[in-house]
Amino acid sequence: MLLELESSQLVLVDYQLRLMPALHDFETVLLNATRLAQMAAALAVPVFYTEQNPSKLGETMPGLLDVLKAARARPLAKMQFSAVEEGLSDMLRPPPKPVQGNARSLPKHLQKASAGEERDTIVLAGCEAHVCLLQTALDLLEDEFEVWVVTDACSSRTERNRDAAFDRLAGAGVELVTTEMVAFEWLRSAEHPAFKQVQGLIK
């Protein structure tokens, strides 16, 4: 099973000023998160980002924040560790489209279509992997999203906690991928109009 561009949304979790410097290999992780946001913008993938208790942990890291704003990413401030507990799932599902006439008189397949085009594949990355990322991913699974976690854009204070999170996520049915996997599965072909732009981001 490959990642489908048309059904994808990108969610970046808690890349914040007072958190990132304490995390393992944070510079590489931050670079990959920035690349993901840039690729999503180039390929018209909706982008969302969260900030845990921003009054204490600060806002999103400046370079990444600039890219997120350019991509018109939607922010979610939260206190719960799982962003789903703060309304993320509702943000990820489109509002129902208005239906002309009496919706109840429509055939069932047209009633379903009126709910809007759903992008139910969530490409997820963030920090800390064993806390906010893990809890958000598991709750998204419960809400019937497909979840793909980008491992080289995730971190924790220790490698052991990060790797334990990946083990648990894989066991729960989450797909584990890398930034380059996401790039080339979204593109699928060297003939994609955005191929050179995306390739330039990951070289």
- Residue 94's pLDDT is 77
Question: Average model confidence (pLDDT) for the chain?
Answer: 92
Which domains, from first to last, does the chain contain?
A: 5-94+112-202 (3.40.50.850)
Q: Which two tokens stand for residue 85?
A: 């507990």
Q: Hey, CA dihedral for 145, 91, 153, 33, is it positive or negative?
A: positive
Q: Is the pTM of this model over 0.75?
A: yes
Q: How far is residue 19 from each of residues 50, 62, 123, measured CA to CA in Å?
A: 13, 13, 21
- Residue 118's pLDDT is 83
- 83-121, pLDDT tens digit by residue? 999 999 999 997 766 656 555 555 555 554 444 568 999
More confident residue, 95 or 74: 74
Q: Which two tokens stand for residue 70?
A: 């350019």
Per DSSP, the three-state class of 139 is helix
User: With bands split at pLDDT 50, 70 and 90, how would you rate the model's confidence at 53?
Assistant: very high
- Tell me how far the alpha carbon of residue 55 is from its chain's centroid: 23
Q: How far is residue 152 from each of residues 24, 33, 73, 91, 189, measured CA to CA in Å?
A: 11, 9, 21, 25, 23
16: DSSP letter: B
Cβ distance 183 to 39 under 8 Å? yes
